[in-house]
Amino acid sequence: MSGASEVVKIVDLEAFRATVVDSFVPLDTSTEAGEFEGSIRRIDLGSVQFSEVVATAHTVRRTPRTIRASDPGYYKVGLQVRGYCVLTQDEREAALTPGDLAIYDTTRPYQLSFDDRFRMLVMMFPRTLLRVPESGIAQLTARKISGRQGLATVVAPFLQGLGRDVFTTTPSVAAHLNEAVLDLLAAAFAEQLQLTDSLPPETRHQAMLFRIHSFIESNLSDPELSVARIAAAHHVSTRQLQKLFEAENSTVSGWIRQRRLEQSRRDLSDPHYSHLPVATIGARWGFTEATHFSRLFKANFGLTPGSFRTE
């Protein structure tokens, strides 16, 4: 894989062909459209290469000839963000719409067809790093994993958020995202194969934590959000839930409070909410008492909410 620096190119078809090969593995790229426009940017998250591909209609093919040219033994996972894609491998076909995931294997022929402008996020990494048996992944290639079901409801938003922020992060921060990406992908694929119990404990731990974080984010504005409710929603005891957060040097209530404060700070700096009173902003994020909200905000950010807004 390439170095840790970001690569951004906006190119014509001939240059795009070369960029695809440089960014991934040898592939044949073609289009029937008269005009072509595309861009690729990538960054290394440790051993995971994270790329964003934005382009107009075209087809890429991994053929026996291109496999002979270079066969590094990677898995690639595509998350469709915008547009439509048809992925073909192992005599299967997956039609991907925004939010859908699919995995494919560079050691065997595959094809991706895009019939219009699209945006896709692609994770590429050595096959040996995915903590799911190769025989299991062989059953999942070119099978759509809906971003609206199971663990994919956590994985897809996480990867989309990563796609918004990761290209401007520092190399040291990017490297730390490696395990998080691999753990989440492994958990999502193991769930599809009903192999979740066979995953390493640390992978199950991270997958559960991400699921819980997502649940909390979706319910931050509810002042009745509690440890007991979160535990019940995830079929664990309150003690098990607390232990998950203790392993991250945090507490459930502390994490909820911090996320509410961060969301409140974001809204206080947003001109769209300048007409709302400070107390209303706090209440939007579960702080029902204005004085309590003001005290917590100042303790965390050094200013009262009102002073922060007028700075």
In a domain, 92, yes or no: yes
According to DSSP, the residues that pair with 77 across neighbouring strands are 103, 123
Evaluate if residue 256 carries a pLDDT over 80.
yes
> Quick one: 184 and 69 in the same domain?
yes
Handedness of CA 198, 207, 209, 230 (dihedral sign): negative
pLDDT of residue 11: 62
> Quick one: 55 and 174 in the same domain?
yes
> Quick one: 144 and 259 in the same domain?
no
Evaluate if residue 2 carries a pLDDT over 50.
no
Phi, psi for 229 (deg, rounded to 5): -65, -40
Q: What is the CATH number of the domain that holds 123?
A: 2.60.120.10
Distance in angstroms (rounded) separating the CA atoms of residues 51 and 189: 20
Alpha helix ranges (H) inside 49-170 = 64-69, 134-140, 152-165
Report the candidate in 79, 76, 37 with the shortest Cα–Cα distance to residue 57.
37
Q: What is the CATH number of the domain that holds 297?
A: 1.10.10.60
> Quick one: 51 and 128 in the same domain?
yes
> Quick one: 296 and 187 in the same domain?
no
What is the arithmetic mean of pLDDT over 133-149? 93
> Quick one: 106 and 194 in the same domain?
yes
> Quick one: 148 and 296 in the same domain?
no
Phi, psi for 242 (deg, rounded to 5): -60, -40
In a domain, 268, yes or no: yes
pLDDT of residue 166: 86
> Quick one: 206 and 97 in the same domain?
yes
Residue 59 structural domain: 7-218
State the total domains in the chain. 2
In a domain, 232, yes or no: no
> Quick one: 154 and 279 in the same domain?
no
**For the segment 171-192, what is each residue's pLDDT rounded down to a tens digit?**
767 777 888 899 889 989 988 9
pLDDT of residue 34: 76
Evaluate if residue 10 carries a pLDDT over 70.
no
User: Where is the domain boundary, 183, 218, 253?
Assistant: 218
In a domain, 305, yes or no: yes
Tokens of 308: 């922060």
> Quick one: 98 and 159 in the same domain?
yes
- What band does 59 get if pLDDT is binned at 50, 70 and 90? very high
pLDDT of residue 3: 44
In a domain, 168, yes or no: yes
| 261 and 300 Cβ atoms separated by less than 8 Å | yes
Alpha helix ranges (H) inside the chain = 13-23, 64-69, 134-140, 152-165, 171-193, 201-218, 227-233, 238-246, 252-268, 278-284, 290-301, 305-310
> Quick one: 36 and 134 in the same domain?
yes
- What band does 6 get if pLDDT is binned at 50, 70 and 90? low
In a domain, 2, yes or no: no
> Quick one: 295 and 182 in the same domain?
no
Where is 87: in which H helix or E strand?
A: strand 85-89
pLDDT of residue 201: 79
**For the segment 94-120, what is each residue's pLDDT rounded down to a tens digit?**
999 999 999 999 999 999 999 999 999
